[in-house]
Amino acid sequence: MNHKPWLGAVLVCGALIAGCDVMDADTTMMNGAIVLKDKQVVLSPANQPKAAIDSSGNLTIDDKTVSVTPAQQALLMAYYMNVVDVHNTGIKMAKAGGKVAVQALAHAASTSKEDKAQDAAQELANMSMDICKDTAGIKTVQDQLGAQLPAFKPYANIVDNASVDSCVNEAKDDSKDAAGKDDAKS
């Protein structure tokens, strides 16, 4: 059984999270520059006042409401929804990891349990790729907002191409590792 060291940590954390109500947990991205908290996306890039986007596409910067056009509001709603999608996928990952960890703790290692663990590793890798797609969605909307809404420009560099590329490469590596375990058994 050749598991990545981080997989064990994910499973243990998942087991702990599986027992908690994670639906109301905050989601933090980009080293804290994007946080989903209290049904708002809070943007906090270095050296900028905090900005907040709610589910209706309302934008505040430094606690002041920013006037937006209907098109800009739609983009702000899309930004919010992409962050919520990352949050929801993270919850699914925590629950899946928790389920695997509970199964692993409850049963001795066996071939069928290893198969289930490998299937779960692939499922987690697929969810990681979903997070990358949502992160790319945030980047796309962020770029559009930066071009169309001058007040948003200071927040339009939070997610960069390197972050999206790194996410995708790591998810692909995880997927290959999960698939490689199946190949090694053949």
Dump pLDDT digits (tens) for 98-144: 766 666 665 555 555 566 667 777 888 889 899 999 999 999 999 99
Res 174: pLDDT: 78
Count H helices and E strands in the chain, helices first.
4, 6
**Crossing angle (nearest 10°) for helices 111-148 and 161-185:** 160
To the question of pTM greater than 0.85 for the whole model, the response is: no
Res 117: pLDDT: 66
Q: Which run of H or E residues covers position 179? A: helix 161-185
3-class SS of residue 63: coil
3-class SS of residue 123: helix
> Sheet harboring 40-43: ordered strands across?
27-29, 34-37, 40-43, 51-54, 59-61, 64-66
Residues 6+ apart with CB under 8 A from 148: 71, 72, 75
**Residues of the chain predicted below pLDDT 50:** 1-19, 182-186
In angstroms, the CA 20 to CA 15 distance is 9
Res 186: pLDDT: 43
